[in-house]
């Protein structure tokens, strides 16, 4: 077996990867840099140019990339993303799925519940991953890799964005269940990768430090927040063939934040 992390010939989908400074883009870049053909997924028309910028980054790194506009929070959107992947990359299979798309909002329990926002968080963060896995597995060969992007908040909680933390805990539970369901039967591994503080534009403008300061103070690897590249490199290790015996795991990629 060659001693390499090459993903040459592999097809990957990274949901929610259409922002240049986002975790999804960092993951997509790590995969493309190592030879994978990557689908960059984005949602809104206003994000199209940013998604194309990400694709250009991936191509410059030596990978093949296409962008697909689709909202995975619906069954139709998830299926469309799979179909367009197969069509756009002229393939009949998907080797790697990274469920990265997610959302959050400020939600103190003392305030009147915003039902629309609560629904959106679980619809995208949990149902979106469910739909994607459902539609991808018929096209995923043995040795396939599914990575769910979780968060340290799933175990630590978060008093500012409790529904987000709860949705990530639900996603972790799906990871453990799917690892059992898809392992022996299909040869597919499923793992959660849980970033700690990473400065991206998922945070409200001007509040990045307020959201991350506590966790940054708890990191052990260095006195800083993580980067999208840090998360991308961790995902790269897990989607490689050498990680075939790792499944159903919660992998903290937080610089050593403990709970």
Domains of the chain: 11-241 (3.40.50.720)
Contact 209, 4 (CB under 8 A): no
**In terms of Cα–Cα distance, which of 96, 94, 92, 114 is closest to 105?**
114
**In terms of Cα–Cα distance, which of 48, 69, 25, 56 is closest to 202?**
25
Evaluated on CA atoms 228, 230, 232, 234, the torsion sign reads negative
Contact 197, 215 (CB under 8 A): yes
Q: Which of 17, 37, 150, 254 is catalytic?
A: 150
Local structure of 246: helix, strand or coil: coil
pLDDT of residue 93: 99
Radius of gyration (C-alpha) of the chain in whole angstroms: 17
Contact 203, 190 (CB under 8 A): no
**In terms of Cα–Cα distance, which of 164, 147, 62, 134 is closest to 96?**
147
**Distance, CA of 209 to CA of 229 (rounded, Å):** 19
Catalytic annotation present for 168: yes
Evaluated on CA atoms 54, 71, 129, 252, the torsion sign reads positive
Local structure of 41: helix, strand or coil: strand
Catalytic annotation present for 150: yes
**Distance, CA of 211 to CA of 174 (rounded, Å):** 26
Q: Which of 17, 37, 164, 192 is catalytic?
A: 164
pLDDT of residue 2: 55
pLDDT of residue 153: 87
Catalytic annotation present for 164: yes
pLDDT of residue 199: 81
Q: Which residues contact 198 (CB under 8 A, 6 or more apart)?
A: 23, 212, 225, 226, 227, 228, 230, 231
* DSSP code at position 36: -
Catalytic annotation present for 151: yes
pLDDT of the chain along its 259 residues, tens only? 456 789 999 999 999 999 999 999 999 999 999 999 999 999 999 999 999 999 999 999 999 999 999 999 999 999 999 999 999 999 999 999 999 999 998 899 999 999 999 999 999 999 999 999 999 999 999 999 999 999 998 988 888 889 999 999 999 999 999 999 999 999 999 999 999 888 887 666 777 777 777 777 878 888 788 899 999 999 999 999 999 999 999 999 988 887 6
Q: Which residues contact 196 (CB under 8 A, 6 or more apart)?
A: 151, 152, 215, 218, 219, 225, 226, 252, 253, 254, 255, 257
Q: Which of 107, 151, 167, 192 is catalytic?
A: 151
Q: Say how many C-beta atoms besides its own lie within 10 A of residue 240's C-beta.
A: 18
**In terms of Cα–Cα distance, which of 151, 21, 36 is closest to 99?**
151
Could you tell me the end-to-end alpha-carbon distance of the chain, in angstroms, rounded to an integer? Answer: 38
């Amino acid at each position: 077996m060659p001693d390499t992390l090459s993903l040459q010939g592999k097809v990957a989908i990274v949901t929610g990867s259409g922002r240049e400074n986002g975790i999804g883009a960092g993951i997509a870049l790590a995969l493309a840099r190592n030879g994978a053909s990557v689908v960059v997924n984005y949602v809104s028309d206003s994000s199209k140019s940013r998604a194309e910028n990400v694709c250009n980054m991936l191509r410059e790194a030596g990978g093949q990339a296409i962008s697909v506009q689709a909202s995975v929070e619906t069954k139709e959107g998830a299926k469309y993303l799979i179909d367009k992947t197969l069509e756009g990359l002229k393939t009949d299979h998907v080797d790697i799925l990274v469920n990265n798309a997610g959302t959050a909002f400020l939600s103190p329990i003392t305030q009147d519940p915003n039902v629309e926002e609560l629904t959106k968080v679980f619809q995208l963060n949990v149902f979106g991953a469910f739909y994607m896995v459902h539609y991808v597995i018929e096209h995923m060969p043995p040795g396939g890799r599914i990575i769910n992007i979780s968060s340290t908040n799933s175990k630590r909680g978060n008093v500012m964005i409790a529904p987000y933390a709860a949705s990530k805990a639900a996603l972790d539970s799906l990871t453990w269940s799917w690892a059992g369901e898809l392992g022996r039967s299909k040869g597919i591994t499923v793992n959660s990768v849980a970033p700690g503080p990473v400065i991206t534009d998922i945070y409200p403008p001007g509040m990045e430090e307020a959201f991350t300061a506590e966790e940054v103070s708890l990191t052990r690897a260095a006195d800083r927040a993580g980067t999208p590249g840090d998360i991308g490199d961790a995902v790269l290790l897990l989607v490689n063939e050498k990680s075939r015996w790792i499944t159903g795991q919660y992998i903290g990629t937080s610089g050593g934040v403990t709970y």
